[in-house]
Amino acid sequence: MVHVSATPVLALRGVSKRFGAVQALTDVELEVHPGEVVALVGDNGAGKSTLVKTIAGVHPIDEGVIEWEGKPVSINRPHDAQGLGVATVYQDLALCDNLDVVGNLYLGRELLHRGVIDEVSMEKNARELLSTLSIRIPSVRIPIASLSGGQRQVVAIARALIGDPKVVILDEPTAALGVEQTAQVLDLVERLRERNLGVILISHNMADVKAVADTVHVLRLGKNNGSFPVKTTSHEEIIAAITGATDNAVTRRAGRRDAEAAK
Amino acid sequence: MSDTSKTVQPDPGSEHQNTVAPSDDPTAAPVTVVDPRLLIRDEGLKGYVTEFKRKVKGGELGSLPVVIGLIVIWTIFQLQNDRFLSADNLSNISYYMSATGMLAIGLVFVLLLGEIDLSVGSVSGLASTVFAVFVVTHGMNGWLALFLAVLTGIGIGALQGWFFARIGVPAFVVTLAGFLGWNGLMLWLLGTSGTINIPADQGPIKLLGQSSFFMDQAIIGAYLLAALGVLSMLVGSFGEQRRRKAAGVPFRPTSEILLRVGALAVASFAAAAVLNNASGVSNALVIFLAALVIVDFVLRRTTYGRKVFAVGGGIEAARRAGINVPMVRITVFAISGGFAAIGGMFFAGQTASATLNAGGGNTLMLAIAAAVIGGTSLFGGRGTVWSALLGMLVIQSIQTGLDLLNMNTSIQYMITGAVLLGAVVIDSVSRKSQKAAGRA
C-alpha cells in the first residue's frame, strides 16, 4: 500500500442522482486520495457510469456534496470538472485515426507560437511525457491508425495527462485489450499513482482490480455496498459485495471446484 | 509492458520514420536497444529507397500516381501532336488550370471532412453572373462587384453547410439541390439574352484575362517568382531544423533538405523558363499559386486547419476534444463556396463575359477529379491542398490535349468520366491497402 495523505483530493458525500422515476444513485460516498487507485466495481446497472459522469460533469448531482481538496464545489458541466483537474478517459477511445500521436495528445489545446501551431514544442513535450510514463510507441509522428489497441489506450490516457489533472478517471481501460496490452495499461496506472494522482478505475476484471487498486468501492443498485482495502480482501468477498449475497453463482462454483479437488 | 521496455531507454520515438537518420539524432541515448518493430530509416539513399518501397506497399502512394499519370499523358499527347509540349501550349495549360484549380482548392477542404460539394460548378457560374450584372447592368466598380460576388459564394456555401451541419441533411443531397438551384438562379439572372459581355480593359477581368501577365511579361518576373519559392522553402526548412535541434527533437538532415529544395528549384526554374519562352506567367496562375500557399499554411499550421483534419478523422473524438463540429462544417462549406466564386471570376476573366455555360458542363467533375487525382482522399482526413495543383496539371493537360486533337465534346466527357473513376479507384484501393497495412 502506498502512503495516502489525509485530505482526499476528491470526496463525494451523500450523492444522489435521479433520472425521472429511476433512482440511479442513492447516498453514495466516495473518497479518492492523491496517489491512490480506487477501483469502482459493481454489476451492470449498479451506477458506476452514472457516478463517473457526475464527477466528470456530464450529469449534475441532485443531492449531496462533492468536495475538492476538502472544499465543496459544484460540477455542472464537463468544463467545470476539467477546470478543477478531473480528466476522463472513456471506454471508446476518443482519438482521431488520421492525426499523429502528437496531434492527438494536443487536440483542442494546441500550443501556439506567434499564433501558429508550435509543432516543435508539442513534439518535445509529448516525447517527454511519453518517456516519463515509459510508453513505447514506434514514433510520436505516426498516425494513430498504425498503433495497436493497447498503444492507443496508453495514448488516450497520456492525452488525459496533458492538462495536468489531479484525478484521472479510467472507464474500463482494459476491456478490449489482450494480455500484454492490459499489462501495459496497468503499468501505466501504477505510474499515475507514482505521480501522486488520484485514479478512479472502473473495471469488471477482478484480476486487474487486484493487481493495481489500493481500495475497492463496490456499488450495488446505486448504493455503497462496501469499501475494501484490496490487500486484505479476498476475491470472493468482493464478488459477494457486488452480487449482494454470500451465496451466489461465483461462490457456488468455487465451492463445487473445491469439493471436487478434495475428492 | 513488454519485456524489452524494461531494458530500453525510455525514449518513445527517437527513431522517427522520416525525419531523422540515427546518427544525426541529438537525443539518441548512448545505449539504444531497438525494438525491431519500430520504424527506422537507414541512412542515405538506400534508406530512401527502402522507405519508399515500404510506403508504396502500405498504400501511401503520395504523389506517385500523379507523376506517373502526367508523364504518360504528356507522352501520349506529344506523340499525337508535336505542338503539345510547346511553350505556348504549356503556357495555355498553366493559365486555364487556374480557374478550375480554385474550385479544387475549395473542394479539398470539403473532401478533408469526408464530404462532397456538388454545387461548386453552379456557384462559380452564378458568381460570374452576379459580377457581370453588378458591373454591366448597375455600372458598379469592378472590385466592389468582385467582393460582392465572392461574398455571394461564401453565403451560399454557409447556407448549404448550415443545412448539412444543423439540420442533418446529407451534404451530397444539399449540394445536389444547390447544383440545380444555383444554376437556375444564374439562368434567371442572365435572362433572355443568355450572355453578358464584361469590359475586359479594367478591374478584375483585366487582371484575370488571357493577356495579363506577372510584371508585364518581364523575363525577370518568372524567375523572381521561382527564386522566391525556392528561397522561402530553404529559409523555412533550415529555420525549422534549427528550432528542432534546439528543442532536442528529431530533425530533417541537411542532405534531405537540400535534396528537396533542389527538386523544387529544378521544377520551378524549368517552369519559369518554359513560360518565359511563351509570354510569361499569367496573373491568374500567380493568384492560384498564392492561394495554394496561403491555404496550405492555414491547413497545416493553424488550429483551424487542425480542427478540419480532426473532424475528418473522427467526429466523436473531435467533439470530445472541445471542437465545435457544426461550426467547422459550416465554415468549410463557406470556404468551398468562396473559392467556387473566385473560380467563377477566373472563368469570367477567360471569356470576358458571363455566359449560360459558365461553370456548367464537366466543370464540377474536373474539379473533383483534380482534388482526388492529386491525392486528397474522398474518405476524409487525408490530403493536402497541393493536390489541387498536381491534379489540375493532369486534368488540364487532358483537356488541352483533347482540344488540340479536335476531339468532340462527347469524347471529352467520356474520357473525363473515366479519369474521375480511375482516380477514385486508386484512392479506394490505396485506402484498402492502407487498412491492411494498419495505416488507415
Cβ separation A116–B12 shorter than 8 A:
no
**CA atoms of B137 and A93, how far apart (whole Å):** 58
CB–CB contact A184 B1 (8 Å): yes
Chain B residues within 8 A of A138 when measuring between CB atoms: 13, 15, 17, 35, 37-39
Mark which residues 57-116 of A lie under 8 Å from B by CB: 90, 92-99, 101, 103-104, 107-110, 112, 115-116
Question: Is residue B310 within 8 angstroms of chain A, CB to CB?
Answer: yes
Chain A to chain B Cβ contacts (< 8 Å): 135
* Tens digit of each residue's pLDDT, chain B (440 residues): 333 333 333 344 344 444 434 444 444 433 344 444 445 555 556 666 777 777 777 666 667 778 888 899 999 999 999 899 999 999 999 999 999 999 999 999 999 999 999 999 999 999 999 999 999 989 899 999 999 999 999 999 999 999 999 999 999 999 999 999 999 999 999 987 788 898 888 888 888 888 888 878 788 889 999 999 999 999 999 999 999 999 888 888 888 899 989 999 999 999 999 999 888 899 999 999 999 999 999 999 999 999 999 999 988 888 888 889 999 999 999 999 999 999 999 999 999 999 888 888 788 989 999 998 888 988 888 889 998 999 999 999 999 999 899 888 888 888 888 888 888 888 888 888 777 765 55
**What's the gap in Å between the CA of B323 and the closest CA on chain A?**
6
ipTM of this model? 0.79
State the smallest CA–CA distance between residue B23 and chain A in angstroms. Answer: 17
DSSP string, B209-259: STT-BGGGG-HHHHHHHHHHHHHHHHHHHHHHHHHHHHHTS----HHHHHH
A-facing residues of B in 337-396 (CB < 8 A) are: 380-382
Please indicate whether, in this complex, the C-beta atoms of B321 and A108 are within 8 angstroms of each other.
yes
pTM, two decimals, is 0.83
Tell me which chain B residues have a C-beta less than 8 angstroms from the C-beta of A145: 434, 438-440
Lowest mean pLDDT among A78-82, A255-259, B149-153, B251-255: A255-259
For residue B306, give the nearest of A110, A124, A183 by CB distance.
A110
Per-residue pLDDT at B58: 67
List the end-to-end C-alpha distance of chain A, in Å, as a whole number: 38
Residue A224: helix, strand or coil by DSSP? strand
Partners of A201 in the beta sheet?
A39, A170
Instruction: Name the nearest CA neighbour of B70 among B392, B432, B285, B412.
Output: B392
* DSSP bridge pairs for A19: A22
pLDDT digits (tens, 9 = 90+) for A25-74: 999 999 999 999 999 988 888 888 888 888 988 888 898 999 999 899 98
